[in-house]
Each structure stands twice: as C-alpha cells, then as structure tokens.
C-alpha cells in the first residue's frame, strides 16, 4: 500500500477519533444545556419527563438530575395492571402517592424508552393504600386507572417500560423499574 494511502487512512481515523472524543460530547452538552434552560423556564412537567423518555431505566436518574428533578424517598406507587387491549389501546391501573403530601395528586408516567411516554394523574380513592399509609380514607386520591386513546403495539412492551412518579415539587421516584404489559 502506498505511503500516501496509509497516511490518508490514519488522518481520517484521527479525525474520527477527535470528533468522537472531543467535539461530539461538547456539542451534545451545549445542546442539552440550552434545552434544559428552556424547559426550566416553562416548568411543564409532562414536557420535561417526555424529553427524559428517551432514556433507559438505568440512565433516567442521571438525566433527571441534570434536568433539575430531585429523587424522593417519600413517593411510593405500584402499577397493578398494564394491558394492551385488543383494539391497540393501553390500559394502566395502579396507585401512587407522596407520603408527605398525601392529599396532593401526583403525575404517573409510563416510559417506554424511545417509543412512547404515557401520563396519568392520580384521582381515584384507594382505601387499601390509605390504610397502609395510615391516611383517612377520604383524605387521599392515590389511585389511577386509564385507557390511553393513542393506539400502540407490542413495541411498547419490548422497549423495557418503567414507571416514574413526579410530584408538584419536581421530586420523582422510579416506582416500577420494569413493567410487564399483558397482551403482548
């Protein structure tokens, strides 16, 4: 192989390495910083978590911290049932509560990384949850049950979905690190 070809290959490999190691992370960091500045100004929780929905369960906490969300030990919850209906709509049923602010609703997000993000707010009475956390039964509305209008397929189940709960103070917890969706 001629020396000129070898030098061209080495120069190309060097430029690719420089791009991968230096330039791309700097551009990515700047883009993320500008995005989060816009999101924090708007403070829309659904938009914020929707953007974080591209992250896998393992990457979510780090990305959430960069976005200004704080992890909470007082948020609890469970998805009792997630089912893909025959008509292609997703049904989600369960409960979530912030044990320090039991009477405030929380937002529940089912995140299927790089596929979809679904949101529902707690609004139903759950006497079993009130009894466990020693709240008066009419004090908290920890339950949620919804069937989303957007039709999906089993790609949601294959994307390793997980559930994140966010309160009004932008505190969160991952309450179900892996959700099994029946019907797939």
- Please report whether residue 56 resides in a domain: no
The domain spanning residue 150 has which CATH number? 2.60.40
Bridge partners, 124 (sequence order):
143
List, in sequence order, every beta strand (DSSP E) within 24-170. 70-71, 75-84, 89-98, 107-112, 116-121, 143-151, 162-166
- Please report whether residue 132 resides in a domain: yes
* pLDDT tens track for 102-148: 788 899 999 888 888 888 999 898 999 989 988 887 788 899 999 98
Distance CA 115, CA 33 (A): 24
Question: Looking at residue 164, what is its pLDDT?
Answer: 93
- Please report whether residue 138 resides in a domain: yes
Bridge partners, 86 (sequence order):
none
Contact predicate 130/136, CB 8 Å: yes
- Enclosing H/E stretch for 57: helix 57-67
- Please report whether residue 157 resides in a domain: yes
Question: Looking at residue 149, what is its pLDDT?
Answer: 86
- Please report whether residue 11 resides in a domain: no
- Please report whether residue 162 resides in a domain: yes
Question: Looking at residue 90, what is its pLDDT?
Answer: 92
Question: Looking at residue 45, what is its pLDDT?
Answer: 78
Q: Can you give the pTM of this predicted structure?
A: 0.72
Q: Indicate the number of domains in the chain.
A: 1
Question: Looking at residue 150, what is its pLDDT?
Answer: 83
Beta-carbon-side half-sphere exposure of residue 125 (alpha carbons within 13 Å): 7
- Please report whether residue 151 resides in a domain: yes
Contact predicate 94/77, CB 8 Å: yes
- Please report whether residue 55 resides in a domain: no
* Below-70 pLDDT ranges, the chain: 1, 18-20, 23-43
Range of the domain at 81: 70-176
First to last CA, the chain: 55
């Amino acid at each position: 192989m001629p020396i000129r070809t070898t030098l061209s290959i080495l120069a190309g490999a060097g430029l690719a390495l420089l791009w991968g190691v230096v330039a791309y992370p700097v551009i990515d960091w700047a883009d993320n910083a500008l995005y989060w500045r816009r999101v924090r100004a708007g403070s829309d929780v659904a938009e914020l978590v929707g953007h974080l929905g591209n992250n896998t369960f393992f990457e979510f906490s780090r990305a959430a911290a960069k976005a200004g969300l704080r992890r909470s030990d007082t948020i609890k919850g469970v998805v009792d049932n997630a089912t893909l209906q025959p008509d292609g709509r997703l049904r989600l049923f369960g409960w979530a509560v912030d044990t320090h602010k039991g009477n405030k609703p929380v937002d529940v997000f089912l995140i299927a990384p790089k596929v979809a993000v679904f949101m529902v707010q707690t609004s139903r009475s759950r006497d079993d949850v009130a009894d466990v956390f020693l709240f008066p039964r009419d004090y908290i509305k920890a339950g949620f049950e919804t069937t989303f209008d957007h039709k999906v397929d089993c790609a949601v189940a294959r994307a390793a979905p997980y559930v994140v709960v966010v309160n009004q103070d932008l505190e969160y917890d991952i309450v179900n690190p892996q959700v099994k969706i029946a019907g797939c």
